[in-house]
Structure 1
Amino acid sequence: MKVLKYVGLGLLAAVLLFVIVVTTRPSRFRVERSATMAAPAEAVYAQVADFHAWQGWSPWDRLDPSVKRTYGGPASGTGASYAWSGNEDVGEGKMTITDAQQPSNVAIRLEFIEPFEATNTTTFTFVPAPGGTRVTWVMEGENTFIGKAFGVLMDMDKMVGADFEKGLGAMKQIVESKSAAPS
């Protein structure tokens, strides 16, 4: 009987400690990755400002070949939207371009519906660099308690950052091959 009491108290202490650790985590998060591409800013901008082009480089499109896509608004630029619904690896959500300044930046409202609800801001900036364009991909948002708890167990920057790196690598291949093609 005493053993159960001590086990119960130990579990309660572990849960309380975990809750304390979670509540001390930052309330905001930011994931950022950059790559330099041997292509003009206009070519890279076109890959981001048109959601139809994302199928060629988005790391998440490869996770579910049968994902259902819906496009809305203009074909590209401010107001363009893209919604998806897929398997458990890609979930369900929607992106809407809230600002597009050709060829310097694109801002996106990113709404996750499944497997969890969250709304984040994603931005892409395109800056001239030696040999081409420096592309920076950033996602920022608020950490809920669940997000903070997830962050204690998994490093979101490493996890999402790795996907950003894959996406930027695929985008680089696309824009560099198009830029190198003879006119």
Structure 2
Amino acid sequence: MQQNYNLCFHKSFIMKILLTIIGILAILIILVLIIALYSKRDYTVQREIVINQPVDKVFDYVRHLKNQDYFNKWVMRDPDMKKSFRGTDGTVGFVYGWDGNKQAGAGEQEIMSIDPNKQIGIVIRFERPFKAIAQAPITVEAVTTNQTRIRWRMSSSMKYPMNAMMLFADMDRLLGKDLQWSLEKLKGILEK
């Protein structure tokens, strides 16, 4: 009889511990969701670099989205990704679609506007790992006749409750290092 009592006591004790753990997790989840209600949803990340080439040469290269295969870190994460294209590359309305592995995800980017030798307006529509839309303009400006400053910006917002991720992740650091890597790779290509 004592053995049955001990067994029941242990089961009861384990159940209390499990219920306490579940209760604490539920409180933490509710707390994060409440904080997310009042947290920012928008973010902007921007990086720039100076390339030792004239502005027209830099602009002509970056306005063609297919060239991102050679310098965009996100595109390079899956060399076997499926790509699709609609329209004429380097012109308004051109769409570059991709469907890749877990790291690359799936989506498309479209040239929305072109201001020659100044800016390419690009919108990115992510499908996977989650749906989102980002503005990702690339801006160029002449520093000298043989030097060009290029800026690449990404702006987006996260819907509730996905914006809770921004409580734990520094978007500027996470995305910024990939933008910087991509710009340095671009510089290496154009300065050859």
Mapping of 1:90-105 within 5 angstroms? 90-105=104-119
Q: Are residue 159 (structure 1) and residue 146 (structure 2) matched? A: no
Paired residues of 1:96 and 1:109 also in contact (CA < 8 A): yes
1:82/1:13 CA distance change after superposition, 3 Å? same
Other-structure match for 1:19 = 33
Give the drift of 1:7: 4.4
Give the RMSD, CA atoms, in angstroms: 1.8
Question: Which one-letter code corresponds to 1:174 in the other structure?
Answer: I
Query: What is the SS of the residue equivalent to 1:145?
Result: coil
Q: What's 2:6 paired with?
A: none
Q: 1:25 to 1:69 in 2, by over 3 A?
A: same
1:30 aligned onto 2:44:
yes
Do the aligned partners of 1:110 and 1:122 also contact (CA within 8 Å) in 2? yes
Native 8 Å contact 2:107 2:125 kept in 1: yes
CA distance in 2, matches of 1:60, 1:46: 21
SS in 1 for 2:191: helix
Query: Contact between 2:33 and 2:161, CA under 8 Å: does it hold in 1?
Result: no
Q: 1:53 aligns with which of 62, 67, 71?
A: 67
- TM-score of the aligned structures, taking structure 2 as reference length: 0.84
Aligned residues of 1:47 and 1:54 also touching (Cα < 8 A): no
Structure number with greater Rg is 2
Mapping 1:1-183, distance limit 5 Å: 6-130=20-144, 132-177=147-192
Cα 1:37–1:147 change in 2 (3 A) is: farther
Q: 1:70 to 1:13 in 2, by over 3 A?
A: same
Query: By how many angstroms is 1:6 displaced?
Result: 4.8
Equivalenced residue count is: 177
List per-residue Cα deviations over 1:145-182 (Å, max 9, x = no partner).
Answer: 243122122222111111100110011111111xxxxx
Amino acid at match of 1:19: L
Unpaired runs of 5+ residues, structure 1, are 178-183
The runs of 5 or more residues in structure 2 that have no matched partner are 1-11
For 2:5, the equivalent position in structure 1 comes to: none
For 1:55 and 1:7, the matched residues in 2 are separated by 47
Check whether the contact 1:47–1:171 (CA below 8 A) recurs between aligned residues: no
